[in-house]
Amino acid sequence: MPKLDLSKIEARGGSGYPGKLADPVAGRTGQRLGDAGGLTQFGANLIHLEPGSASSLRHYHMEQDEFVIVTAGVCTLVDDDGEHEMRPGDCAAFPAGDANGHHFINKTNTVVSFLVIGTRTATETGYYSDVDMMVKVTNNKEFEFTRKDGSPLTKDQTGEDT
Amino acid sequence: MPKLDLSKIEARGGSGYPGKLADPVAGRTGQRLGDAGGLTQFGANLIHLEPGSASSLRHYHMEQDEFVIVTAGVCTLVDDDGEHEMRPGDCAAFPAGDANGHHFINKTNTVVSFLVIGTRTATETGYYSDVDMMVKVTNNKEFEFTRKDGSPLTKDQTGEDT
């Protein structure tokens, strides 16, 4: 039925970021609410950040609009303009192609949560603001991380042999 | 900037429903948060319902996914299975083409609010569950309401001469 039972939707951790680039998001889990409800056109994910964790590396999308509403705790939005405190009910919008890299971090001592909506597209390109990295997504599921010139990430970046 | 100042985003009333069919939504206003933030791929509207008001006539979409999260008060979701109480943080998903007509009503004495996300498509068809009506949307903005067989709505339905 349309009303979702959030207690029955798994909160998944993990990250596709290579090697130590995933460290900042180790305390992030997400519940795929839209998927659970049968939606395909956009993702609607309820993200939970442990104290000290980030939602992602600071990034922006070229093809996909993104929208966030905070649902619990006090998040800190970081973008090119600095830090912005966001409380439950506060919202932020990130239009596709706007090169203002952003992420959310939890600077408090309790878990914070927010709902993030992102358009689903078959392909996508994302750029990271604080590291020399981009991601290309193909077939709606295959992620390739490289430096911004397309060359492989280095061991210095990932801590791994390439 | 990406963080939205909700106090500066107009809450608009009004409805495109013809004649007296608009009466149930007279106490509804909406803030177009996604539009305010420059998004184009989906709508993100914060809806406020006065006591006794409905979000819409009970309906479903053929082309557009829809997602709702309650942000204030206690809403009642009505669908083909009956009534479902929804409190802040509760979510519901309505996949395109799922013929389970739904709307939200405020059965309490205080304003209730929810965020609704809906895909933007150039065309759309919607069907209403409790009245003999459908809507065709063209060019992302032109709404035509008719009976489900395509014939004009009647004076009995709208209270207006057709």
Chain B contact present for A94, CB below 8 A: yes
Share of chain A above pLDDT 90, in %: 94
A 60-79 → B contacts, CB under 8 A = 64-65, 67, 69, 71-72, 77, 79
CATH number corresponding to B15-123:
2.60.120.10
- The Cα–Cα gap between B32 and B75 comes to 20
- Is the pLDDT score of B16 beyond 70? yes
- Is the pLDDT score of A140 beyond 80? no
Q: How confident is the model at residue A139, as a pLDDT?
A: 80
Q: How confident is the model at residue A20, as a pLDDT?
A: 97
Share of chain B above pLDDT 70, in %: 99
Q: How confident is the model at residue B102, as a pLDDT?
A: 98
Could you tell me whether strands B28-32 and B11-12 are parallel, antiparallel, or unpaired per DSSP bridges?
antiparallel
Q: What is the mean pLDDT of residues A90-97?
A: 98
Q: CB under 8 Å to B76, separation ≥6 — which residues?
A: B83, B84, B85, B86, B104, B105, B106, B107
Chain B contact present for A36, CB below 8 A: yes
Q: How confident is the model at residue B142, as a pLDDT?
A: 85
- The Cα–Cα gap between A14 and A7 comes to 20
CA A45 to chain centre: 10
Smallest Cβ distance to A41: which of B1, B36, B119? B119
Smallest Cβ distance to A39: which of B38, B39, B67? B67
| Contact state of B2 with A79 under an 8 Å Cβ cutoff | yes
Closest CA to A159 of A18, A50, A38, A16: A18
| Contact state of B92 with A64 under an 8 Å Cβ cutoff | no
- Is the pLDDT score of B162 beyond 80? no
Closest CA to A61 of A132, A136, A9: A136
Smallest Cβ distance to B89: which of A71, A81, A93? A71
| Contact state of B117 with A44 under an 8 Å Cβ cutoff | yes
The residues spanned by each domain of chain B are 15-123
Where is pLDDT greater, at A139 or A37?
A: A37
Chain B residues touching A72 at Cβ < 8 A: 89
Convert the pLDDT of each residue in B106-156 to its tens digit: 999 999 999 999 999 999 999 999 999 999 998 767 899 999 999 999 999
Which pLDDT band, with edges at 50, 70 and 90, does A162 fall under?
A: low
Q: How confident is the model at residue B1, as a pLDDT?
A: 85
Q: What is the mean pLDDT of residues A46-58?
A: 98
Q: How confident is the model at residue A135, as a pLDDT?
A: 97
Q: What is the mean pLDDT of chain B?
A: 96
Q: Report long-range pairs for A17-24 (Cβ below 8 Å, ≥24 apart).
A: A17/A57, A17/A145, A18/A145, A18/A153, A18/A157, A18/A158, A18/A160, A19/A157, A19/A158, A19/A159, A19/A160, A20/A158, A20/A159, A20/A160, A21/A57, A21/A131, A21/A133, A21/A145, A21/A153, A21/A157, A21/A158, A24/A53, A24/A54, A24/A57
Which pLDDT band, with edges at 50, 70 and 90, does B51 fall under?
A: very high
